[in-house]
Structure formats: C-alpha cells, structure tokens
C-alpha cells in the first residue's frame, strides 16, 4: 500500500508539472502577441506617400522607411503592417502609369511621357554670345543601336576677338577631363569621338566645349534597351512555384511568407509585379516551397533533404530539439501547438506506464500473499495429520 501511494503521488506530480509547462507556454505566447504593435505613417500600402513603419516587439522598437531600390528600375520598397508585424513589399511604380517613377521613397509622376528607347541626334544649341563677342555652338551625333555607343561631338567658335590660334577643350560629359584641340580660324569646326556605356535607365550625358572665353553645352541621351520579362509559371499561378526575371539579370522567386501566405511574382507588361495572397483565399490550404498546396495532394516540386517517416510519434522527439527537420517542417500548421500536444501525449504515456507498473506490482504482491497463505495452510494440515 505504501508503494501504491508513493506511485500515485508521483503520477499526480507529473501531471501538475506538465500542466504548468503548458499554461506557461500559452501565457508566454499571449504575452508576446499582446506586446507586438505596429503603426504605419502613410496608412498601409500607400505607394504615392513615403511612410515609416514603427514596430514594437516586446522591448524592441524598429523603424522602417519606404525607399527606392538601388538598381534604378523604379521599384519601390513599401513597408506596411500586417497582424502587428512590419512587412515589406516590392512594387513597380510603372503599374500606376507610364509616367511614374520611384523617387524619394514613393511613386511619383515625372511629368513627361516615356521616350522611345532609341538614341537621337541632339539639337543644335543656339549660339551663346559672350562679353568679348565670341560665340560657341556644339552638337552631337550619336550612333544608333543597342548597347555601348559612340557619339561625334562637334563645336564651332565664331566672332573670336582673341589672337589665333587658341585651344578649345571638348568634354564628352561633366566628369571628363576633356581634350584640347587647336582652333586656327573663325567658324572652324572641331570634333572628337566620345564613347558612352550601356545603361539600365535613361541617362543624359552633358558634352561641352570651351575656349576663347566662351563655353557651350549639349545633351546626349542614352536610353536603355527595351526590358523584357519572363515568368516560368506563366503568370499569377499560385499552385506552381515560378521564377520571374528580366533581361537586366533581375530575378524573383515565388516564396512563402509563412505557412499560409504566398508572395507571387509575375510579369506586368515588361516589368515585375508582386502580391501577397492567402492560400486559403485562392482555393488552397497552405503554402509550401513557394506555392500554395492542398495537403491531401502533397506532390512536391523538388526532393526533400529528409526521408523521415511521418509517423506522429516522431513528433515527440521534436520537443527535445531546438529545431525540427524533414517533412515535419512542411506539414506543421502551428509548431507551438504541436509541441504542447507532444508534451501532453508524453505525460499520458508516463502516467499510464506508472499505473501499469503499479498494477503489476499490486498483482504480484497479491499473488505472493496467496502463495504464502496456501503454504501456511499446507503446513497446518501436515501438522494435524502428525
């Protein structure tokens, strides 16, 4: 009886301990969720206003401000709040209209229409008359085609009152040191060949000529090659993971934000657009490996690194590890709830084992007592016969 009471006390103690663990885990989760706060100064996904997201997670406070991505394709990095958490979305400003560009952390119109992506001859600038009556005129004739190009820069100085010859300096752009060319006569045309690189955004190079007290400039426009866009899954295909890329070597892969949300990339014209969708809202149940799936048909588009059995008792081992591996990661809806369930199952198994052991001990004790009783009776009967 004493052993039975001891085992019963141990069993009750284990159940109380597990209850405290479960309650503590739930309380910690509730405290964490209640301490997560987020605010956005531009009100959310507002692409035309530069905003700052302030996120509080426990004692940590972070600030994230909308910005333009550095590769110059008019892509905006827009921060917003989702379920008390700061998140980021890439947005192509051209989706708002052909005149929109990304500037100072927001999408704004540049006030002009997009130019045809071909280079053109710059107009002849009107003569600039200086105090000493010297005039200067410069023009450029760029080559045609896509990629790096050359441009013939020419200039003419007239009404020169200084003594000839003098040296004129021709520059291909504002950062060019320039080349000195002798000028011997009034209205003499001087020229040089300039090389310009391939660019990814429309660029204006300022060529200049100076000499005899006069300076004049002209512009050489370099437009990028037409951008193309390809999406390997054919567009907004939520059930297939795709890669969307442009001919400027930018590529974006469909990714899961969590086990329910998918960030889907696709081509909007010749530019990359993206959105975040909840898989349950588009006919699926969860997000896995960059696409929405239904667990009843868990066909994977790439092999898994682990072939561990899906037998649920393997999950009991996860509570002793900081991180789970294998297919369990992909199938788990809520790891915290699964761990709590595993603790409860483990507790039930331990208590059941103790009770079974207790029962066997009790049975064994009863059998011993019965045997002793039978032995005692047998001895008593023998004594009477004698």
Q: Where are the domains positioned within the chain? A: 36-116, 128-222
d(CA 214, CA 125): 14
| pTM value surpassing 0.85 | no
d(CA 299, CA 303): 10
d(CA 237, CA 290): 11
Whether the pLDDT of residue 133 is over 50: the answer is yes
d(CA 269, CA 76): 17
**What per-residue confidence (pLDDT) applies to 83?**
84
d(CA 233, CA 241): 7
Q: Is 327 helix (H, G, I), strand (E, B) or coil?
A: helix
Segment 259-313, tens digit of pLDDT: 999 999 999 888 889 999 999 999 999 999 999 999 875 544 444 444 444 444 5
Q: Which residue, 88, 147, 75, is CA-closest to 118?
A: 147
Segment 330-369, tens digit of pLDDT: 333 444 555 666 677 777 787 777 777 777 777 666 666 6
Identify which has the larger pLDDT, 384 or 175: 175
CATH class of 128-222: mainly beta
Q: Is 68 helix (H, G, I), strand (E, B) or coil?
A: strand
DSSP classification of residue 232: T
Mean pLDDT score, 240-261 = 88
Stretch (H or E) spanning 339: helix 335-385
β pairing state of 135-142 and 149-158: antiparallel
Identify which has the larger pLDDT, 198 or 279: 279
Q: Which residue, 70, 77, 82, is CA-closest to 106?
A: 77
Q: Tell me the percentage of the chain whose pLDDT exceeds 90.
A: 23
d(CA 314, CA 344): 15
Highest mean pLDDT among 40-44, 122-126, 135-139, 339-343: 135-139
Round the average pLDDT of the chain to a whole number and report it.
75
**What per-residue confidence (pLDDT) applies to 286?**
94
Q: Is 346 helix (H, G, I), strand (E, B) or coil?
A: helix
**What per-residue confidence (pLDDT) applies to 304?**
43
d(CA 212, CA 191): 17
Tally Cβ neighbours within 10 Å of residue 99.
14
């Amino acid at each position: 009886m004493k052993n039975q009471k001891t085992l019963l006390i141990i069993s009750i103690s284990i159940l109380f301990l597990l209850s405290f663990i479960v309650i503590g885990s739930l309380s910690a989760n509730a405290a964490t969720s209640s301490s997560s706060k987020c605010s956005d100064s531009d009100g959310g996904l507002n692409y035309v206003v530069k905003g700052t997201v302030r996120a509080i997670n426990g004692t940590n406070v972070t600030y994230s401000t909308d910005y333009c991505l550095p590769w110059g394709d008019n892509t905006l990095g827009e921060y917003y709040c989702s379920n008390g958490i700061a998140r980021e979305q890439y947005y192509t400003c051209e989706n708002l209209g052909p005149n929109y560009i990304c500037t100072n952390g927001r999408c704004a119109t540049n006030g002009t229409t997009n130019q045809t992506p071909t280079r053109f001859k710059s107009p002849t600038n009107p003569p600039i008359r200086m105090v000493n009556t010297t005039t200067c005129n410069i023009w450029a004739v760029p080559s045609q085609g896509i990629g790096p190009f050359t441009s013939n820069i020419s200039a003419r100085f007239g009404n020169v009152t200084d003594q000839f010859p003098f040296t004129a300096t021709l520059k291909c752009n504002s950062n060019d040191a320039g080349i000195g060319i002798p000028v011997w006569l009034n209205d003499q045309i001087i020229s040089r060949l300039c090389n310009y690189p391939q660019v990814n955004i429309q660029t204006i190079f300022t060529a200049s000529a100076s000499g005899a007290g006069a300076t004049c400039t002209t512009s050489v426009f370099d437009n990028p090659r037409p951008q193309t866009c390809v999406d390997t899954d054919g567009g907004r295909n939520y059930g297939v993971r795709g890669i969307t890329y442009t001919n400027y070597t930018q590529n974006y892969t469909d990714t899961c934000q969590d086990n329910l949300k998918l960030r889907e990339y696709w081509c909007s014209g010749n530019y990359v657009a993206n959105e975040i969708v909840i898989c349950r809202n588009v006919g699926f149940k969860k997000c896995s490996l960059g696409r929405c799936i239904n667990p009843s048909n868990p066909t994977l588009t790439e092999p898994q690194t682990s072939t561990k059995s899906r037998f649920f008792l393997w999950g009991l081992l996860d509570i002793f590890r900081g991180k789970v591996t294998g297919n369990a990661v992909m199938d788990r809806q809520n790891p915290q709830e699964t761990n709590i369930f595993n603790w409860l199952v483990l507790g039930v198994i331990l208590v059941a084992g103790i009770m079974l052991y207790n029962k066997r001990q009790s049975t064994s004790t009863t059998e011993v007592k019965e045997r002793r009783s039978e032995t005692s009776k047998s001895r008593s009967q023998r004594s009477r016969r004698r």
